[in-house]
C-alpha cells in the first residue's frame, strides 16, 4: 500500500509541489503545481520574492489536497528543499525582517573583505571546509552587519530559506544541517554551530536556531494549511533541505568510484565521502565539503551550469519569440567551432545579455566568435563539458579515488548533447537520470523517516534503481 508524501522543491529559477506515492516496491511522482521563481529589485538590491513563493506554494498545497481527496489518501508528510546560502532574519513576532537577499546581490564582495580582516582563507577552510564563493552566508552576514546593523540587532532567529518555509508551515524555527553546512558557520567535524567563529564575527549567538537532521519531524502542519481532510495528520519533516543534498540522496550511485553531477542552474560535480577532506590541495582546487544525508560528505566543486543556457534563451526569445531549445540543440550538435569560455568567470555570474557576454569573452581570447544562437549554445555546452572534465581530473587527484563513471541527475540529464560531450571530454561512461533526483531525495527521506519504506540511504537508492532507468552514454573512441 502506497503512502502519499509531498515535496516543496524550490530551485533558483522555478518551483514545484510534487506528490510522491511511495511503497516498498514502487515510486509514483505527480507534479501538482509548477511556478516561476524570479528575483526582484528593491532599493538597488536583489531579493527573492518570498511573498510570491508563499502564494504559489499555497496554491500547490490546495491542489495537493484535491489530489489526495480524489485518491482517498492522507498526506503523511511534507518536506521542503531549496537552494543554499540565502537566509531570512525573523523578529520577535516571527516576522521576516527586510526580506531575503538573492545570492547574486552585489553586497557580497564587501562581506568577503570584512571576513578576511578577521580570519585568513586558509584558517577558514580548516574550520568549515567550504569552497570559496563570495555569496556564502558568512560573507552575506558580515555585509549585512555593516550595511544594515539594525536588522541583526532586531533579529531573534536566522533561518535558511527552506527553514523559512518550514517556519511558515509549522511555526517552528529550526535549521536543517545540510543547508547549515553551506553557511560557513558549521563546524566541519562536529556538524554543530561553530561558536568560536560566530563570536569572532561578532554575531549574536541567539539568532542561530536549533539544528535538525534529515528525517527529523519539525512539527505538525499548522491549521491554516489544512484546507482538505487529507491534511488532518500531516507533519512537516526535515529533508536534505539543500536541493543539491536532496539530489545526491536521490542519485542511484553505482559505487564509491562513481562521481555525481547534479545539473541544473548550477553544476555540482563531486564524490560522496565518509569523512571531510580539507587539505591544502582540496582548498587550492576549490573543493567544498558539505553535508548530505546520513552525515555523508558531499565533496564537490560548484561550477556554473544551465544558468548560461537559461539566460541565453531569454535573449534569444526576446529577438525571436518562436525559437525553441529543442531545435537549437539539434542544430548545435552539428556546429564545428573552437569557441570556448571559462564558465566560472565572474562575468557570467550576473544578470545581463549572456550571448553578448559570451561573444565578448571569445573575442578577447582570440577564438571564433559564435554568431548564431546554435553556435552560442554549442559554445556553452562545449565549455561546460570542458569544465566537467577538468573538475573530474582534479577530483580524482585530490581525493585519491579512481573515478570510473559519472552519474548526471537533474534537469541537465535530459540534455543528450551535453551528456555525450561530457562522456567524450571526461573519457568515462555517463549515466543520465533520474531527472527528478531532488524530489526523490526529498520524498524518500520522508518515507524512510515515517516507516513507509525501510530506513537507509542504500535502500532508497536501490528503490530508485528499480523504478528509474538511466540513459547511457559511452565516450567516443
Q: What residues are annotated to the active site?
A: 243
- The reply to whether omega before 434 is within 30° of 0 (cis) is yes
Q: Yes or no: say if 370 and 360 are a contact pair by the CB < 8 Å rule.
A: no
Maximum C-alpha span of the chain: 64
Identify any residues that bridge with 273 across adjacent strands, giving them in sequence order: 297
C-alpha–C-alpha distance, residues 160 and 242, integer Å: 9
The three-class DSSP label of residue 9 is: strand
Angle between helical axes of 457-467 and 437-450 (0-180°, round to 10) = 130
Residue located via cell numbers 533558483: 12
User: Quick one: DSSP state of residue 420?
Assistant: H
Give the phi and the psi of residue 366 in degrees, each rounded to 5.
Answer: 75, 25
Grid coordinates representing 407 are 552519474
Give the phi and the psi of residue 90 in degrees, each rounded to 5.
Answer: -105, 140
Secondary element (H or E) of residue 375: helix 373-399
For 305-317, letters b (16+ CB in 10 Å) and e give bbbbbbbbbebbe
Amino acid at each position: 500500500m502506497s503512502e502519499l508524501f509531498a515535496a516543496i522543491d524550490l530551485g533558483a529559477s522555478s518551483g514545484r509541489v510534487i506528490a510522491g506515492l511511495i511503497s516498498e516496491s514502487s515510486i509514483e511522482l505527480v507534479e501538482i503545481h509548477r511556478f516561476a521563481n524570479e528575483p526582484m529589485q528593491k532599493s538597488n538590491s536583489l531579493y527573492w520574492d518570498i511573498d510570491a513563493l508563499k502564494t504559489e506554494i499555497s496554491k500547490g498545497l490546495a491542489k495537493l489536497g484535491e489530489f489526495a481527496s480524489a485518491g482517498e489518501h492522507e498526506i503523511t508528510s511534507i518536506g521542503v528543499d531549496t537552494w543554499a546560502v540565502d537566509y531570512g532574519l525573523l523578529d520577535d513576532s516571527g516576522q521576516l525582517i527586510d526580506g531575503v537577499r538573492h545570492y547574486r546581490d552585489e553586497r557580497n564582495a564587501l562581506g568577503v573583505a570584512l571576513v578576511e580582516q578577521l580570519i585568513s582563507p586558509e584558517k577558514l577552510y580548516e574550520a568549515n571546509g567550504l569552497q570559496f564563493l563570495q555569496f556564502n552566508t558568512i560573507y552575506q552576514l558580515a555585509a549585512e552587519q555593516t550595511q544594515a546593523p539594525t536588522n541583526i540587532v532586531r533579529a531573534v532567529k536566522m533561518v535558511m530559506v527552506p527553514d523559512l518555509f518550514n517556519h511558515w508551515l509549522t511555526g517552528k524555527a529550526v535549521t536543517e544541517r545540510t543547508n547549515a553546512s553551506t553557511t560557513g558557520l558549521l563546524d566541519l567535524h562536529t556538524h554543530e554551530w561553530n561558536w568560536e567563529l560566530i563570536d569572532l564575527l561578532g554575531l549574536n549567538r541567539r539568532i542561530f536556531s536549533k539544528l535538525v537532521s534529515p528525517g527529523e519531524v519539525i512539527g505538525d502542519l499548522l491549521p491554516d494549511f489544512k484546507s482538505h481532510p487529507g491534511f488532518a495528520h500531516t507533519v512537516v519533516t526535515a529533508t536534505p533541505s539543500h536541493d543539491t543534498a536532496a539530489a545526491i540522496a536521490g542519485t542511484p550511485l553505482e559505487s564509491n568510484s562513481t562521481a555525481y553531477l547534479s545539473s541544473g542552474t548550477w553544476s555540482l560535480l563531486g564524490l560522496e565521502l565518509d569523512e571531510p577532506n580539507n587539505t591544502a590541495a582540496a582548498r587550492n582546487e576549490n573543493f567544498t565539503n558539505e553535508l548530505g544525508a546520513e552525515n555523508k560528505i558531499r565533496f564537490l566543486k560548484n561550477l556554473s551550469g544551465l544558468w548560461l543556457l537559461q539566460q541565453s534563451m531569454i535573449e534569444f526569445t526576446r529577438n525571436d519569440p518562436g525559437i525553441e531549445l529543442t531545435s537549437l540543440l539539434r542544430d548545435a550538435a552539428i556546429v564545428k567551432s573552437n569557441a570556448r569560455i571559462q564558465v566560472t568567470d565572474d562575468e557570467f555570474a550576473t544578470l545581463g545579455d549572456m550571448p553578448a557576454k559570451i561573444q565578448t569573452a571569445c573575442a578577447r581570447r582570440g577564438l571564433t566568435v559564435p554568431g548564431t544562437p546554435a553556435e552560442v549554445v554549442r559554445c556553452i555546452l562545449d565549455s561546460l563539458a570542458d569544465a566537467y572534465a577538468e573538475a573530474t581530473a582534479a577530483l580524482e587527484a585530490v581525493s585519491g579515488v579512481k573515478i570510473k563513471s559519472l552519474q548526471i541527475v537533474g534537469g541537465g540529464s535530459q540534455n543528450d548533447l551535453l551528456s555525450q560531450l561530457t562522456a567524450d571530454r571526461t573519457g568515462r561512461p555517463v549515466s543520465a537520470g533520474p531527472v527528478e533526483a531532488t524530489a526523490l531525495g526529498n520524498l524518500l527521506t520522508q518515507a524512510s523517516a515515517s516507516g513507509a519504506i525501510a530506513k537507509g540511504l542504500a535502500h532508497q537508492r536501490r528503490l530508485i534503481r528499480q523504478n528509474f532507468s538511466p540513459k547511457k552514454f559511452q565516450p567516443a573512441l
